[in-house]
């Protein structure tokens, strides 16, 4: 488990730093680039996914920070969960904390990937991608575990 914690911290620091440097660049310099399929375009999201709950903009950072703290406390009390899902949890914490820092620093989450080929899609950032990858890993692991248990019962 010690190795997993060390790897988790290293991955967290590297990905968090990369994400924050990119967001700083978009927020402070003109890094916008128009592409035929996808553009890089600065936008601030004051809500959550697809700007839902933007009416809570000034409170979201505190609500989300409280959720992360509760999750961290849960992991301290349930170390086996971290052991089984350490990589996905690391990605969730990177994405979540980086977006929360944006709310404190810029007043909203810094988004910049904008898909616009064929249909207009949401604008998002690397943190959002990491969160989605983490959820996919957790779902995949849960399905795999369920299938294994189901097979053992038969």
Options 19, 30, 84, 111, the catalytic residue: 111
DSSP assignment of the chain? -HHHHHHHHHHHHHHHHHHHHHHHHHHHS---B--SSEEEEEEEESSSGGGTTGGGHHHHHHHHHHHHHHHHHHHHH-HHHHHHHHHHHHHHHHHHHHHHHHHHHHSSEEEEEEE-SSS---EE-HHHHHHHHHHHHHHHHHHHHHHHHHHHH-
Active site residue 111: yes
Options 19, 30, 84, 128, the catalytic residue: 128
Active site residue 128: yes
Residues known to be catalytic: 111, 128
């Amino acid at each position: 488990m010690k190795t997993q914690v060390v790897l988790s911290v290293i991955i967290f620091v590297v990905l968090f730093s990369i994400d924050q440097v990119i967001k700083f660049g978009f927020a402070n310099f003109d890094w916008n680039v128009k592409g035929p399929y996808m553009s890089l375009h600065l936008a601030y999201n004051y809500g959550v996914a697809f700007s839902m709950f933007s009416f809570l903009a000034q409170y979201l950072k505190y609500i989300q920070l409280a959720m992360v703290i509760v999750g961290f406390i849960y992991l301290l009390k349930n170390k086996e969960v971290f052991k089984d899902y350490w990589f996905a949890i690391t990605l969730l914490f990177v994405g979540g904390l980086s977006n929360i820092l944006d709310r404190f620093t810029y007043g909203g989450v810094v988004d910049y990937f904008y898909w616009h080929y064929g249909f207009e899609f949401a604008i998002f950032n690397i943190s959002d991608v990491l969160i989605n990858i983490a959820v996919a890993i957790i779902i995949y692991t849960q399905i795999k575990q369920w299938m294994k248990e189901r097979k053992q019962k038969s």
